[in-house]
Structure 1
């Protein structure tokens, strides 16, 4: 399973990084507010829209302002998922670690823009439903001005030419109405399939539904093609503030000739053409990689249907041929699905000459992949292994683990995966005498059940032996918590054994959930006066508890910097 980083700050975070993140968030929110207010005032006060406001009232501005914010965020939402573009910016321009952190939080920004798109679509939709209702009912108005405006034919102001239709029919009669319905339905499906439950349990549904963005953008581009929102074009000849008082004299007045109306040219394409082109280029890169699969050099079948796949390390674009700890890649197996790309965290260290992932059979695609490898490798000939294509690697927040003297890494369930790469890298740095700022790692592993993660205990066992062989075992403090599947009798057995009966490690398993206050109190006393990095990959409830403890135990010169991975 892949990870995409996000870091949540507080006023107690290091000032530079906090300032960069805060300023970026302020800029985005301020831009949305500015665009909304600008376009609201334009349609609410502009003389060009005076006559349309006589029919629609404030709902004209309430529809157009969200549309502008919608365009802005539809422009931005694609950029964070242009991952190769972000890799290029990171490595071509040599950004600092703090700036790179913004790129590594791409999914967080993608979600923020998506939430704003949903909100603005909802407001835009409601306002236009009122607009359609008002346009339809205006044919029954007794106001001379409204009657005159509705009778205008060439050019017209009211796109609904009759009152003999109901609201639903009116929506689908208008080109902007039925295309808006298609856009909204596509968005609802995309957002629903992107919920955490569906994304984790039914990734294929999430993957394919997310590609409805093609329909979303296609209909967004043509949504305003018929120019059905019309403004006045002859303001120099016809002053609406004065002439609206004498609508019955328009045809016979020199001072107040008939007002002329026209719709504005569609402007959405100006907002989205650049990001769409970049994303199209991104997909071309991914498609080209699907036809250039990497070589599988080793496959290890672990218990509980976990498969470890080691692949030849390739040189990617921008000269990037070395990954960092905690990064993730997308894998494609053309034999299973030509267009499906699935994200997985790298468990290999940057110092190793191969890339490796550990894949647990937890869905249709992963189960099929496991079965395919099992069938192909029955003879033991690695050349028979299925060919896999790689897109990536891409960054994650855990890359910053080496920026601290003390790092506290918390992994819950499958969230332990990114720390496998970290532990390996620490060993290689220690073994090769490479100086590093990191002096101590606390690895807190919370297992709901142990069976699915035997592979990680094997990895830890081998690494602890290697660290012990070079007298560097003190760098790692492993704490394991088994939250389910045990009883008091089983817990007593572990105290009587030299090795833990669950993991086979020297570090004994704790039964139950961690007492975070107790742990942070210990860390605060042991590492008083230091800035400690806290990295968590797991459910939201654990992240919330850790963030609260980071803030609570940050005091004076002792700081706990909270970093979160989303998976």
Structure 2
């Protein structure tokens, strides 16, 4: 389902992780009560001598006499107990502490779902009391899971050439090339599962594609786990397994004309590819329209009737067509300025050159690491401001886009954005008043942004502007 972008734009499957955990806990409790009811209730009651006539009337004369051990050794008995034990083992191996200690154990533990489901399907197959409906209900979704996992297993044997580059103490970059004959239907914002046979043949981990040109793509990975730590220590990475690409909430980016993108640390990866794709797409469309207009002017035939437009001066003294105007506010929150080197080429590419004037990308970088020395603050401020038209790059970061020091003031950022959107929508009465807010990073920041989106939407209803802010968060667990 994640492969279909038209579905993932409405259903964020990754947000079901919390529901998955709660549902599993409830199921485990109910299954335990069910087992206790049989082991201490019906099995005991049904094995008593004076109840054998009732058992014979229910199960048949050949089923009696029926001792307690016969209930345990029956197909419903042993399959139910095996399923419950498998479920408990799976739950123990899925605890956060176990997962942090060894992702291999966590992932192998989840393979117990197959014997668990198999035992559930066999549990009612004896049809002692009713038609075995549970097995039929589980059959189709189980088949889908088996096919999906089987496909991923086969993809592990199909090697994709790759190389590894260490960017800093916390981050590595994998560059890979999909073979020519393999199908690759990547769209900006999607993610892939990768497997490194040198670490583990069975472990598959999801990572967002940060850059993709044709069949060449890059993955920026933060090494903060046991598997990623082993990945960092590899000196001879040559091949990886790739499964995907899959749809993600970031793909809804193109559903909005006005967007706010916020990436925290390595959480910028879903949006780096989107910014690059958006810039290329809009520039290409603008160039085609401009070339088409020039060819009509040189043609001897009469030019086509003019399209009704609403030009206005919005930014940097450029005449912009409101019918085509798209604005993107990009905020990247990082701990230290050295992280800016990850995407410095991409960020400067967007900031320079001749681009579509109707595409307004406003980039802001926020370095949140605290500095106690006031001299450091003054020095950073002076370096950041020391720019000239001939040398627009910051001497401190090497970027054209401005860099702010300290944690971003999101309430102020959203308030200013709302005021500017109010002016824009006042000029364009027909435009959809929807602003997409996309975030990937620490959940605590996501909660604040979700509250701000709700607050701005309520403000739009109160003052009659009808501006709505739609929050989308990337979740990988």
TM-score range, shorter chain: 0.7 to 0.9
- Report what 2:152 is aligned to: 286
Contact 1:403 / 1:437 at 8 angstroms: preserved in 2? no
Is 1:275–2:147 an aligned residue pair?
A: no
- Report what 1:116 is aligned to: 23
- Report what 1:477 is aligned to: 362
- Report what 2:233 is aligned to: 371
Contact 1:443 / 1:476 at 8 angstroms: preserved in 2? yes
Per-residue Cα deviation, 1:178-198 (whole angstroms, up to 9, x for no partner): 544443343344445556676
Is 1:535–2:421 an aligned residue pair?
A: no
Deviation at 1:512, TM superposition (A): 4.0
Q: 1:487 to 1:150 in 2, by over 3 A?
A: farther
Give 2:120's match in structure 1, choosing from 220, 238, 256.
220
Gaps of 5+ in 2: 290-322, 386-393, 426-432
Q: SS state of the match for residue 441, structure 1?
A: strand
Deviation at 1:121, TM superposition (A): 3.8
- Report what 1:57 is aligned to: none
Deviation at 1:100, TM superposition (A): 4.2
Give 2:196's match in structure 1, choosing from 326, 333, 347.
333
TM-score, with normalisation over the residues of structure 1? 0.63
Q: SS state of the match for residue 469, structure 1?
A: coil
Contact 1:328 / 1:396 at 8 angstroms: preserved in 2? yes
- Report what 2:351 is aligned to: 467
Is 1:207–2:107 an aligned residue pair?
A: yes
Deviation at 1:546, TM superposition (A): 1.2
Contact 2:196 / 2:239 at 8 angstroms: preserved in 1? yes
- Report what 1:560 is aligned to: 469
**Stretch of structure 1 that moved more, 217-226 or 416-425:** 217-226
Give 1:425's match in structure 2, choosing from 273, 277, 292.
277
Q: 1:445 to 1:326 in 2, by over 3 A?
A: same
- Report what 1:303 is aligned to: 168
- Report what 1:343 is aligned to: 206
**Stretch of structure 1 that moved more, 215-224 or 541-550:** 215-224
**Stretch of structure 1 that moved more, 190-199 or 306-315:** 190-199
Count of residue pairs brought into register by the alignment: 414
Q: 1:139 to 1:336 in 2, by over 3 A?
A: closer
Contact 1:494 / 1:508 at 8 angstroms: preserved in 2? no
Deviation at 1:396, TM superposition (A): 0.4
Deviation at 1:111, TM superposition (A): 5.6
Cα distance between partner residues in 2 of 1:107 and 1:286: 19
Cα distance between partner residues in 1 of 2:70 and 2:369: 57
Cα distance between partner residues in 2 of 1:110 and 1:362: 20
- Report what 2:257 is aligned to: 405
Per-residue Cα deviation, 1:91-114 (whole angstroms, up to 9, x for no partner): xxxx8x3x4424x62333476456
Cα distance between partner residues in 1 of 2:130 and 2:241: 46
Cα distance between partner residues in 2 of 1:352 and 1:502: 33
Q: SS state of the match for residue 159, structure 2?
A: coil
Deviation at 1:172, TM superposition (A): 5.8
Cα distance between partner residues in 1 of 2:181 and 2:15: 25
Gaps of 5+ in 1: 1-82, 141-145, 228-261, 377-384
Cα distance between partner residues in 2 of 1:533 and 1:160: 68
- Report what 1:518 is aligned to: 412
Contact 1:132 / 1:170 at 8 angstroms: preserved in 2? no
Contact 1:299 / 1:310 at 8 angstroms: preserved in 2? yes
Cα distance between partner residues in 2 of 1:420 and 1:476: 13
Q: SS state of the match for residue 352, structure 2?
A: helix
Contact 2:348 / 2:399 at 8 angstroms: preserved in 1? no
- Report what 2:371 is aligned to: 486
- Report what 2:86 is aligned to: 186
